Homo-oligomer: A and B are copies of this chain.
Amino acid sequence: MSAKPNFSGVISPVLTPFGEDGSPDLDRFVEHCEWLLEDGCTALAPFGTTSEGNSVGLDERMEMLEELVDAGVDPKLLMPGTGSCSIADAIALTEHAVDLGCGGVLMLPPFYYKNPSEEGLFRFFTEVIEEVADDALRIYLYHIPPVAQVGFPLSLIKRLKDEFPKTVVGLKDSSGDWSNTKAILDAFPGFEVFPGSETFLLDGLRNGASGCISASANVAAKSIRRVFDNWQSPDADSIQAGVTALRKAIQGYPMIPVLKGIISHYRDDPTWADVRPPFVEMTPEEIAAAVKALADNHGFTLEFSSES
């Protein structure tokens, strides 16, 4: 295992903008990705939960990723979601990401069938790794039991890590349960662990986490990055407190619609607020109220340069 981690810092599960016709909007997507990297993100995770990743088709996902790399975004900074209920589709998406040179992939377990055995999940990842058969593959396990229901218990993480030490290199923990994140950090030093929310960023870094992969980094990467850059400074707790307060305020709204709404507001681009079913977009009035509350209570605002 290389000593140098593959990913660290503040990673955004990139929102997927849709165009007037409901298809993923490639121009808005590339523009948003480039802006996120300017705003403080150290890497990008397209097709995560916040990305409505599972609402985007297989072909659409591949086209978006190709567009991003074609636009000049360094594929080493990309950790696309390539999990699928279907092992065939998971293999196809993972192969495609590795072929494009992506630094890693963020993989959900197969999540349709509930309560799968640990042996069955182990076999799923084993088959994906053996079929992709590429030394460049780096898998980050995506543990998000509140949504996927199926998750990664410590025993499964250990088994996958032990069997594929160069490939299964990290995990995103979106359990929302700090004691679970702490248990993983304690059990597997050197494993690249990313809490799924910046609320656990400082605690995470103090316990060996690599950073965080967080929905709200779509609009707040700059402030989250301050925690990452200053976590050993005397100000760290106070910086974290401000970041936590903003996150909790954002969480008071439906997460994906409000993030898209915020961007649509500050970009003055109503189409940016669109979501795919089963989500429902916020109305312009709801967006305006959320934007005002976040500005009034947290001094939150976004700036986009005129050319971006």
Contacts and interface: CB of A to CB of B under 8 A. Distances in A.
Contacts of A302: none
A276 interface: yes
A242 interface: no
A60 B91 CA distance: 13
Contacts of A147: 112-114
A85 interface: yes
B86 A121 contact: no
A288 to B, nearest CB: 21
B278 A121 contact: yes
Interface string A22-55: 1000000000000000000000000001000011
Contact of A277 (B59, B114, B127, B277): B127
A2 interface: no
A277 B87 contact: yes
Given A22-B127, A127-B22, A149-B149, A278 B110 contact: yes
Contact of A123 (B56, B119, B149, B277): B277
Interface residues of A, number: 39
Contacts of A92: 57
Contacts of A117: 278, 280
Contact of A54 (B55, B86, B121, B148): B86
A58 B58 contact: yes
A147 B55 CA distance: 19
Task: For the complex of A and B, list the 5 residue pairs with the smallest distance between their C-beta atoms, beginning with the closest.
Answer: A57-B88, A116-B278, A120-B278, A124-B277, A54-B112
Interface of A: 22, 49, 54-60, 85-89, 92, 109-114, 116-117, 119-121, 123-124, 127, 146-150, 276-280
23 contacts: A54-B110, A54-B113, A55-B86, A55-B110, A56-B86, A56-B88, A57-B86, A57-B88, A58-B58, A87-B277, A109-B278, A111-B112, A112-B147, A113-B278, A116-B277, A116-B278, A117-B280, A119-B280, A120-B278, A123-B277, A124-B277, A124-B278, A150-B278
